[in-house]
Amino acid sequence: MCGIASRRRADEIVRVGGVRVNGLVVKELGHRIDTEKDTIDVGGEIIRPQKKRYIVLNKPPLYLTTLKQEGKKRTIRELIKDIPERVYPVGRLDYDTEGLLILTNDGEIANAIIHPRYKMPKVYVALVKGRVERKTLEEMIKGTRLEDGFAKPDHVEIIKYEAQNTLVEITFHEGRNRLVKRFLLKFDHPVLKLKRIAVGPVKLGALPRGRWRDMTDEELKILDRGTLQCAPTS
């Protein structure tokens, strides 16, 4: 909630004695605190819960999906510097890929978006080299084996032909590295341009490139509902 670390990393920090509550080291993971009264110290820094924030960014191409400066390449940090809360990207988009990127400081919502358990669909529009024939489209729908396992899109369709290239819409609920590009290349149609236009109920719509907006209450409600429905039982 304070943007210090992921849940797993936070557990590790607690276990090694990196957290003090009212001056006392606490290593018990189930220890309860009162955020209004207790003082929480992590590594010598007093922390307090942040307001939860849910950002939808239209990432331009040629921006790194990171908040750290890496060489001379531009990063998405430049695009969200007016947001006071510490939000983090949920998943990533390749350097040359554009489109919808969600940032938040809410670990539950982030997990609902990226964890395979929730099967959150991610929709992309890809301009691929060559004309995709109907027979090839039918093979794509069946799926294919990649170097890291079988891949089958939830949906794929031809939008239109552009000269000797093809614009296709393709949906995966998985989040494997460069999955869309590797999948389409397997059918001899390398991606020329790639844009993500939706993640679950969150749509890019007419949001201008390089701009962000807050997630709507309805989008957040649907994500919350999906988290509750898919939550594992113990």
Hey, which residues are catalytic here?
94
Q: Are the C-beta atoms of 194 and 129 separated by less than 8 Å?
A: no
CA distances from 118 to 46, 67, 121 (A): 34, 26, 9
C-alpha–C-alpha distance, residues 2 and 48, integer Å: 6
- Taking the CA atoms of 141, 142, 148 and 154 in sequence, report the sign of the dihedral they define: positive
DSSP classification of residue 80? S
Which tokens hold the place of 184? Answer: 């389409």
- DSSP letters, 102-168, are EEES-HHHHHHHH-GGG---EEEEEEESSPPPHHHHHHHHH-EEETTEEE--SEEEEEEEETTEEEE
Q: Which residue in this structure is represented by tokens 């990127």?
A: 101
C-alpha–C-alpha distance, residues 166 and 159, integer Å: 8
